[in-house]
Amino acid sequence: MVGSTKYEIAQTAYVKLVLHALKHKTSAVNGVLIGRVIGAATAGTEAGTAGAASSGGKESGGGNVTIEILESVPFFHSHLGILPMLELALIQVDEYFASLKSGLSIVGYYHANECFDDYELSSIARKIGDHIARYCPQAGILLLDNRQLGALSKGGTKKPVVQLYVREAVRGWQQSGPGGVQSADLVLKEATANSILTDYISEHREQLVVDFDEHLDDISKDWLNTNLFN
């Protein structure tokens, strides 16, 4: 890979996915990241819906690519390794954001492990990531980092409480940063993200998060979570 890849996550997407994991703290959870790819020569593959080819974004040369993550959609908190409802969720989310015609599409996947001290990206997460990367080659995976999450409650950290994994041609999914893929970096779009997150946790807002699993049990619950930030 030439140049560097920056993954910039917006506060709302970030807070929502961490709260989702906190709501179901005794099980693994997953979901998808929604946004757009800016500055990629090959942006907008077939199924990546209409507007993946950056609209009005800053076209930076030198092969630098930015993946703007603007939204997240919580998917499941049980049976993550089962295909049919995952496919259904992907179809619905893809179709929904395509219908908005805002140029947004699925640009990544997030995952939180069941065990607190498990920091590995599981093979199921890798497979789902592979699937998403087929439609969005720059897609990244965010894995919840329980150590950073613990540090958050003990006075705060400015760093995101998730780890970024990017896909390399030969080695597959690799963690970014020192000792891993140097050319990829995850940044929080708003510096206030972690303090908002801390506030929301103390207000027990994680109880408000609705994922696709719950939607299937009771379809009047909306996985768009429009009320979460009111």
Partner 1 sequence: MVGATEEMELQKLERDVEGGGGDVAQYLALVRKLRVRRSSTVARHGLALLNNSSARSKLGADVWTIYEQVAIAAMDCHALEAAKECIGALRTKFPESMRVARLEGMWWEAKGAWQQAESLYSDLLADNPSDSALHKRRIAMAKAQGNLIGAVEATNKYLETFMADHDAWRELADMYILLQMYKQAAFCFEELILSQPTNALYHLGYAELLYTMGGLDNLRAARKYYAAAIEMSGGQNMRALFGICMCGTAITQTKGRGRDEKDSVDLLSLAGSVIVKQYKEKCPNKVDLITSILDKQLVANIA
List contacts with partner 1 (CB under 8 A).
Answer: 26, 79, 81-85, 87-88, 91-92, 95-96, 99, 115, 117-118, 122-124, 216-220, 222
Q: Residue 122 or residue 174: which is nearer to partner 1 going by CB?
A: 122
In DSSP notation, 125-137 reads HHHHHHHHHHH-T
Q: How far apart are CA 136 and CA 49, in angstroms?
A: 10
Which residue number, 2 or 218, has a Cβ lying nearer to partner 1? 218
Closest Cα partner for 121 from 89, 167, 84? 167
Token pair 């768009």 is found at 224
What SS3 state is found at 195?
A: helix
Question: Over the Cα atoms of the chain, what is R_g?
Answer: 17
Nearer to partner 1 by C-beta: 14 or 173?
A: 173
Q: Shortest gap between Cβ of 211 and partner 1 (angstroms)?
A: 14
Q: Amino acid identity of 122?
A: S
CB of 82 to partner 1, least distance (A): 5
Q: At what angle do helices 193-202 and 11-23 cross, to 10 degrees?
A: 30
Tell me which H or E stretch contains 149.
helix 146-153
Nearest to partner 1 of 26, 155 (CB atom): 26
CB of 106 to partner 1, least distance (A): 15
Q: Which is nearer to partner 1, 124 or 228 (CB)?
A: 124
| Least spacing, CB of residue 99 vs partner 1, in Å | 7
CB atoms within 10 A of CB 39: 21
Cβ proximity to partner 1: between 45 and 122 the closer is 122
Q: Which of 95, 53, 71, 81 is nearest to 12 (CA)?
A: 71
Smallest distance from the beta carbon of 103 to partner 1, in angstroms? 18
Tally Cβ neighbours within 10 Å of residue 175.
17
In DSSP terms, which residues pair with 72 in a beta bridge? 33
CB of 138 to partner 1, least distance (A): 26
